[in-house]
Amino acid sequence: MTIPMGLLTILLSTILGFFPVYAYSFVSRQPGSTSTAIPSSANNLKKVPLFYRAMIPVLNGSFERNVVTLHMSDWGDFAYDDEDEVLDIDFADENDSQEEKALVGIALEAPEVFYDGNPIVIPQGSSLPLSVENVEGVLAACRMEIETMFGYSAENRGVGITGGVDFVELDGPTVVVALKGRFWHTRPMVLARVGAYIMGRIPEVVDVEINDPYELTDEANNSAA
């Protein structure tokens, strides 16, 4: 007699599914105990048919039911790290049109400017009194008049110029500035041009210095974004 595979599957599923209920009827409970262990004593095991007896794991004289809970991630700690993103830009050529340069440069942020006052646009040879407000105003005008050195315009950023200059402090008659970003010109040349612009309009300024000598190195320029 041949038993169809489908019927055999149903019979096995019924037997195996009935086993936990059948075996549970042999659980020995102590008075007041809520334990669901199946003791491994000979008397108890004899009550269980041989087929099921072989399927009961006996650990230290008791049947233990281990429940494993699987937890699915809810992605609650997932976050986007923009440091993983590599910005790959095909910069425009020096001979490209201003429009083409601007289209490339608009993808890059302009150097941040911390001065929110008006630029002080006066001709070279003027004589402004020395003050923080006047230095910052003249420096703001400098950013515009020698703008080809800096990355404040999209056209310049389009060819890879992202550099900027910031006022740091006024140390007596000395103006201290900081350079950031990438320049086409050497950084010492940028500092010299900025210094000449300021001193040509505020005669009391005796020098324009850099905040950190490292900022004048090629390494600082090449490693800048």
pLDDT, one tens digit per residue, over 47-100 is 445 544 444 444 444 444 444 454 444 545 544 444 444 356 788 888 889 899
CB of 40 within 8 A of CB of 28? no
| pLDDT tier, 222 (very low <50, low <70, confident <90, very high otherwise) | very high
Predicted local confidence at residue 36, as pLDDT: 45
What's the pLDDT score for residue 93?
A: 86
Read off the pLDDT of each residue in 169-186 and give the average, rounded to a whole number.
97
| Strand 174-180 to 164-171 pairing | antiparallel
Mean pLDDT along residues 105-133: 95
Q: How far apart are CA 96 and CA 55, in angstroms?
A: 81
Q: Does the structure show a pLDDT above 80 at 151?
A: yes
- CA–CA distance, 137 with 197 (Å, rounded to integer): 12
Q: What residues pair up with 169 in beta bridges, in sequence order? A: 176
Residue range 33-48, pLDDT digits in tens: 444 444 444 445 444 4
pTM: 0.60
In 3D, which of 208, 189, 202 has the Cα closest to residue 138?
202
Instruction: Give the per-residue pLDDT at 6.
Output: 54
The average pLDDT across 119-145 equals: 97
Q: Which residue has the higher pLDDT, 13 or 158?
A: 158
In this predicted structure, what is the pLDDT of residue 89?
74
Q: How confident is the model at residue 180 (pLDDT cuts 50, 70, 90)?
A: very high
Predicted confidence at residue 33, as pLDDT, reads 47
Average pLDDT over residues 201-212: 98
Residue 139 has pLDDT above 60, yes or no: yes
pLDDT higher than threshold 60 for residue 124: yes
Q: Which two tokens stand for residue 48?
A: 């269980």
